[in-house]
Amino acid sequence: MKSCELILALDLESRSEAVKILKTIGTDLKWVKIGLQMFTSQGPDWVNQVAAMGYQVFLDLKLHDIPNTVEKAVQSLCHLPIGMLTLHSLGGVEMLTAANKVRQELKPNLLLLGVTVLTSMDKKQLNRVGVPASPQDQVQNLAGAVVESRVPGIVCSAKELKTLGPNFRTQLKFITPGIRPAGASEDDQKRIVTPAQAATLGSDYIVVGRPIYKAASPREAVQSIREDLQ
């Protein structure tokens, strides 16, 4: 089994609360994900602060617009100290390619990621928005678009890795949210697995939020998940 790293999804109401949790966890954690909630409330300065605390930053904005707009957005974000950035794969090959071209020119070490099917969605929800495929088939389809555009990674449920692996293992990095330690609440997630299962299935990185920052001891929660990954 290859190594799999933990990313903390830090989706909280206030910067002070987030800083407190990060100081509690300390160097037991390498990656922190900043999503729409905190980026829209705290702005780029929050990205700089988290990076200055010694963490690698995964900026999860799921960019989705016409190719030129996404290209310019990636260009604007490349000056920030980020190691990962998400796009919505549904934007299509042209949009993904435009974003990747900027990445290669300005920040080639940035791990650009195509989000496939959100882990909060199941087949019923996909069908309701006009996608007749199952989540598994839709992820396969979108992973193909990501590879065609040369974007280096995707975000998907670990449940899809068993079928994705044979076709895309050598071409993509796999980042998997929807991770819940055994016994943890599922919250609003639909397609979930445990940390150990995700690592066994081939995840390169797992994303965990509430089971860590809502734990009585976030640091112990991180340590427990890291033990599961090994």
Residue 123 a catalytic site member: no
CA angle (122 as vertex; 111, 225 as ends), nearest 5: 55
Tell me which H or E stretch contains 8. Answer: strand 5-9
Of 33, 62, 107, 190, the catalytic one is: 62
Check: CB of residue 84 under 8 Å from CB of residue 59: yes
Catalogue the long-range contacts made by 122-131 (C-beta closer than 8 Å, 24 or more residues apart).
122/190, 122/191, 125/190
| Helices and strands (H, E) in the chain, number of each type | 11, 8
Between CA 88 and CA 218 the distance in angstroms is 30
Residue with tokens 């930053």: 57
Task: Give catalytic residues, as residue numbers.
Answer: 62
